[in-house]
Structures are given as C-alpha cells and as structure tokens.
Amino acid sequence: MDLESFKSLRLPGGVILLGIELEEAPMVDAIGRPALAKAVIEGNTVAVALAAGQAPAEMSISIYHELLEALTVALAARPRPFAILMRLVSRIPPARRIAASAWQVRPPC
C-alpha cells in the first residue's frame, strides 16, 4: 500500500491528513492495551501511525478506523457517520468492500 498517497490529503469537513507512518515499536492505546494504529488530532489536522507488519487488508481497515474516529472528533459540524464512512472508504478498496457489505449498500466508485 502506498502510504505517500495519503500525505496532505484533504478529508471531509476541511480536515487535513498530514500523513500515515509505520511504527516499528509496539503501540498501546490510552488505557495501555496493545494497538494496531493511533491518530493524533491537532486543530484541523490528523496524523496516523500504523503498527508495522500488518497485511494490506488489515492496514486498510486500521486506516479507515483511525480516520473515522479522528473525523468524528475533529469536525466541529459533524456530518452523519454513514456519509463520513462512505466518503472515506471510497479511497481504500478493501475497506470499501467490507463496509459496503456490513452496511448492505453499494459502495461509491
């Protein structure tokens, strides 16, 4: 997966994804549990770190999950979660298929 394609990416609501980086060191969440990814939100920018060694499909789901959570937090005027989901997963093919199947809708092309 080409993580460079996510650099300086404008997301819904004017939020800017600064980039996605791979982390070699083990990551933990806010309460100390092992984590595959994390997002740092500062103003209208988001940076994502992924645990190295994930399969491409797992990586795409981790990216989707972190960005969906980050957008929910970062957006002052929050659009419906489904609208965020469909717009986001349209850029990540494995996530798009999984989300469309789970929500039983046809994914955007």
Instruction: Please tell me the distance from the alpha carbon of residue 80 to that of residue 62, in angstroms, as a whole number.
Output: 21
0.85 surpassed by pTM: no
Provide mean pLDDT across the span 46-70.
90
The predicted-structure confidence for 59-99, as pLDDT tens digits, reads as follows 988 998 888 888 877 765 455 565 666 666 666 666 656 66
- Count structural domains, the chain: 1
Residue 109 lies in a domain: no
Average pLDDT, the chain: 79
- Residue 93's domain comprises 3-103
Contact 66, 36 (CB under 8 A): no
Cβ-Cβ contacts under 8 Å for 81 (sequence gap 6 or more) = 68, 72
Residue 61 lies in a domain: yes
Residue 89 lies in a domain: yes
At 25, is the pLDDT very low, low, confident or very high (cuts 50, 70, 90)? very high
Of 19, 26, 10, 31, nearest to 88 (Cα)?
Answer: 10
Using alpha carbons, list the distances in angstroms from residue 64 to 68, 99. 6, 10
Residue 95 lies in a domain: yes
Residue 47 lies in a domain: yes
Judged against a pLDDT cut of 60, whether residue 38 lies above it is answered with: yes
Residue 18 lies in a domain: yes
Using alpha carbons, list the distances in angstroms from residue 38 to 8, 50, 51, 69, 77. 17, 7, 9, 10, 23
Contact 13, 71 (CB under 8 A): yes
Residue 12 lies in a domain: yes
Residue 28 lies in a domain: yes
